Amino acid sequence: MSADPSAPVLRVAPSILSADFAVLGEAVAKVEPVVDWLHLDVMDGHFVPNLSLGPPVVSSLRERSGLFFDTHLMITDPDRYLEPFRDAGSDGCTVHVEVGNTEAHCAQMRDLGLRVGLAANPDTPFAAIEPYLGLVDMVLCMTVFPGFAGQSFIVDVLPKVRQVRRAVSAGGFDVDVEVDGGLDEHTVSGAAGSGANVFVAGSAVFGRSDPVAAVKGILAAARDASGSVMGGPS
Ligand code: DX5
Ligand code: ZN
């Protein structure tokens, strides 16, 4: 099958939430040769019932890694933290549409030079994201309720993934469609087949004895399902 040059780049973004935080730098170094994005999950104990990491961790990782830092802000007040994350080394930030003030958050990210991401929880409809498609670089469809790694993939989100991809294509927007939660070499097929092109995986990468093989397996399954081109280092 010949690759379609206009097809979106497929990539796996490993989530460090499932890595051993005592040796985080080593965990990231292990996958660095086979990915170009790293997914950083930020939780505030308010928007989600859990706490994770803040700008100091991003800054320490920045010293050691050249990966694109895809920073997922599961927090109620992103406006207070976008600049600190940018300064710490985040390349892109993703805010949740459920926290409101979306237009202002998008503008703030753009002004800060961040790549602009907008996330929606599994039960948030496409209609909530649609008005912002022209303002963002990426839409993140959560395939679990945010807060914890290791949950089961919610297949009911796939029609929304399809809606997002269709609207992005129809509108001629250059927007990535990311999925996050419960992804592995099996569940990625449905997501890729529905039009997602960025696949976040935590436990299916850092929870495995061979994270490099795990990344390759997820990417191969995604390619098979989408019939699209693979991007990033191989
Ligand atoms: C969930 C986080 C995810 C999580 C993914 O709140 O946003 O990024 O780390 O972990 P897995 O792949 O284990 O579901
Ligand atoms: Zn995430």
Residue 233 has pLDDT above 60, yes or no: no
> Which pLDDT score is estimated for 5?
67
C-alpha span between 7 and 10 (Å, rounded): 9
Asked if residue 126 lies in contact with residue 106, where contact means CB atoms within 8 angstroms, the answer is: no
Q: How far is the CA of 2 from the centre of ligand 1 (A)?
A: 33
For 21-122, where are the E strands, in sequence order?
A: 37-43, 68-74, 92-96, 115-120
CB of 14 sitting under 6 A from ligand 1: no
Residues 6+ apart with CB under 8 A from 153: 143, 144, 181, 182, 183, 184, 187
CB of 201 sitting under 6 A from ligand 1: yes
pLDDT tens digit sequence for 14-24: 999 999 999 99
Residue 227 has pLDDT above 90, yes or no: no
CB burial class (10 A; 0-12, 13-18, 19+) of residue 112? middle
> Which pLDDT score is estimated for 1?
46
Give, for ligand 1, the residue of 46, 140, 148 to mutate: max count of ligand atoms closer than 8 Å to Cβ. Answer: 148
CB of 151 sitting under 6 A from ligand 1: yes
Q: What are the residues whose beta carbon lies below 5 Å from ligand 2 (ion)?
A: 41, 72, 180
Residue among 105, 119, 110 at smallest CA distance from 43: 119
Q: What is the rounded average pLDDT of the residues 203-231? A: 89
Q: What's the pTM value of the predicted model, to 2 decimals?
A: 0.96
pLDDT tens digit sequence for 83-142: 999 999 999 999 999 999 999 999 999 999 999 999 999 999 999 999 999 999 999 999
CB of 204 sitting under 6 A from ligand 1: yes
> Which pLDDT score is estimated for 8?
93
pLDDT tens digit sequence for 33-72: 999 999 999 999 999 999 999 999 999 999 999 999 999 9
Atom of ligand 1 nearest to the CA of 146: 6
Structure tokens at 50: 């859990």
